[in-house]
């Protein structure tokens, strides 16, 4: 079981009871609960003695009716809260009862009443009644507390042992996780340092690049100015070149006509000269051909005479060869004769070819 403390407002002081849960088994909860109930008994003024001083109902009918109804309602609410241990309700009950108390204290008719003289005594009676009620509730709660303590002490001890073991295991796991996390953190810190270093280097590079960019922009601007200047110069040169080209074409055309006439005359003279020279060459070549032809005819006739002479000599040699060497000698003589005839025929063909070349 748990009780939930609430804030109780008083005239000159405040008691702060946060909404945190407090175990009922703790001694602090019992003291807190008794303090709450005692404050309610004192401050809410719910005891019947207070309303006994209101006097005749006819004289204070409106006020009396309001206070009596409020008193009964608050008493019932407080009783139910105590039975159900609904301690947070004390806060809301206190607000309603305090409104009744303020109404009673601020009522001028009531304060003039003779019964008001005994107000302090009545409050003392209320305070005593509150203490008696608090003492009764304290004893009742103490008995419940002892029973709960006996019933739950063994279980709490076992639970405490289990919790300690579980806590130790979780602590080991957490230590291991912490080591891993520290290791990762160290790596991340190292990486962060490296990244910061790289960032510094990159920042320097960026600054250098920005500086170069500005220089390049200025260079581009200058180059653009030079380009515009060159374009203008090129346009002027193109116009000048077109005019000069036109003039050169006209001049070259005139020179070409003159050269053409001159070359045509030179070609005619060259043709005439070369034709005469060719005629002389043909005449000389014809003369050389006739001379060469006569020379080779004489050479051929001498070769034919030599062949006849050799044939005659061959016949004479055949008659002197013995019968034993006839076959061999004939073979050798025939071989020599065949070779000689072959050489003569070859020379004849060569002379005829040369003669044909000269003739052509």
The residue among 154, 131, 45, 35 whose CA lies nearest residue 87 is: 35
The residue among 54, 88, 91, 86 whose CA lies nearest residue 71 is: 54
Maximum Cα–Cα distance for the chain, whole Å? Answer: 209
- Bridge partners of 4? 21
Domain boundaries, the chain: 2-112, 292-359
| CA within 13 Å, CB half, 263 | 6
- Bridge partners of 22? 3
Structure tokens at 73: 């309602």
Tens digits of pLDDT across the chain (360 residues)? 233 233 333 332 323 333 334 444 445 544 555 555 555 445 444 343 333 333 344 333 444 444 555 556 666 666 666 566 555 565 566 566 556 556 555 554 444 444 444 444 444 444 444 455 555 555 665 666 566 556 556 665 676 677 778 878 877 887 888 888 888 888 888 888 888 888 888 888 888 988 888 888 888 888 888 888 888 888 888 888 888 888 888 888 888 888 888 888 888 888 888 888 888 888 888 887 788 878 878 888 887 777 777 777 767 666 655 544 545 444 544 445 566 667 777 776 776 676 566 555
DSSP state at residue 24 = T
CA dist., res. 256 & res. 246, Å (int): 15
Query: pTM of the entire structure?
Result: 0.22
Q: Which residues contact 122 (CB under 8 A, 6 or more apart)?
A: 49, 50, 53
């Amino acid at each position: 079981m748990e009780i939930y403390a609430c804030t109780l407002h008083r005239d000159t002081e405040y008691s702060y009871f946060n909404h945190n849960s407090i175990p009922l088994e703790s001694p602090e909860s019992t003291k807190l609960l008794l303090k709450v109930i005692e404050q309610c008994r004192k401050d809410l003024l719910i005891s019947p003695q207070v309303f006994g001083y209101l006097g005749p109902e006819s004289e204070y009918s409106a006020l009396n009716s309001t206070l009596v109804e409020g008193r009964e309602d608050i008493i019932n609410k407080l009783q139910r809260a105590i039975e159900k241990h609904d301690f947070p309700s004390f806060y809301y009950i206190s607000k309603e009862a305090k409104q009744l108390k303020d109404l009673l204290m601020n009522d001028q008719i009531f304060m003039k009443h003779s019964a008001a003289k005994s107000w302090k005594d009545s409050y003392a009676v209320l305070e005593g009644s509150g203490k008696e009620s608090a003492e009764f509730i304290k004893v009742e709660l103490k008995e419940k507390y002892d029973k709960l303590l006996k019933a739950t002490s063994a279980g709490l001890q076992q639970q405490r042992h289990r919790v300690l073991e579980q806590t130790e295991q979780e602590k080991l796991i957490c230590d291991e996780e912490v080591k891993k996390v520290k290791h990762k953190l160290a790596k991340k810190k190292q990486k962060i340092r490296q990244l910061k270093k790289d960032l510094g280097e990159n920042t320097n590079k960026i600054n250098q690049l920005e500086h170069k960019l500005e220089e390049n922009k200025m260079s581009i601007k200058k180059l653009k100015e030079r380009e515009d200047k060159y374009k203008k110069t090129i346009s002027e040169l193109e116009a000048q070149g077109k005019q000069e080209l036109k003039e050169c074409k006209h001049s070259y055309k005139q020179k070409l006509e003159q050269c053409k006439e001159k070359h045509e005359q030179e070609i005619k003279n060259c043709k005439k000269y070369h034709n005469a020279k060719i005629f002389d060459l043909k005449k000389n070549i014809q003369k050389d051909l006739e001379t060469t032809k006569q020379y080779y005819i004489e050479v051929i006739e001498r070769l034919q005479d030599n062949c006849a002479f050799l044939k005659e000599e061959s016949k004479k040699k055949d008659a002197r060869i013995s019968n034993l060497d006839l076959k061999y000698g004939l073979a050798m003589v025939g071989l020599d004769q065949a070779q000689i005839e072959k050489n003569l025929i070859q020379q004849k063909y060569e002379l005829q070819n040369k003669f044909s070349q000269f003739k052509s």
